[in-house]
Amino acid sequence: MLSAKLRAALDNLLPDAGEDEAYLGTPTLRDAAVLIAFTDRPDPGVILTQRPQWLRSHAGQVAFPGGKIDPDDRDAIDAALREAEEEIGLSPRDVMVAGVTEPYRSGSGYIITPVLGVIPPDLPLDPNPDEVEDWFEVPLDILFDPANYQRQQAHWQGQDRHYYDMDWQGRRIWGVTAGIIINLARRMPTDWHR
């Protein structure tokens, strides 16, 4: 079962310091959580969302379902499941949570806890148009292969920034989302899902 394999992989993560945007020195970080939803199929995938173009912040970007941890949330897991239900109609009952991994500090002021879970394949997800333009599934073997990403550098808001970037079927996976993926991919045991 994929959820058991995922739990075992989380228990046996390889040592790696990981990278995030802490080097930007953002003084105040708010707690947030994202759901990395693996589809339980012979060749698993991961669910990602595309944000609407009209949003004020992060317009059009690819992201995991997730957001701020609210005062009513018990923890990061609760927040990630709530946000996934709000954003794409993924019922918490359909998520078998395997665990969490190290938080990612973003330059936009969040400390993001990735929550890993397994969902049945081909669920009829229903994106909330106020938050999500579309959702899609990327094969795990493509998404979690660091060789598929290029390390980029840009000067933005007076600072040099480093980020990872990948194009998959016309969708750009980059920034925080790519950083979370790369950090986890480097630590997961080889072929953990086989």
The two three-digit tokens of residue 102, written as one number: 């190290």
pLDDT at 54: 66
Per residue in 73-95, pLDDT (tens digit) is 999 999 999 999 999 999 999 99
- Locus of tokens 């909330």: 128
Q: What is the DSSP letter of 191?
A: T
pLDDT tops 90 at residue 148:
yes
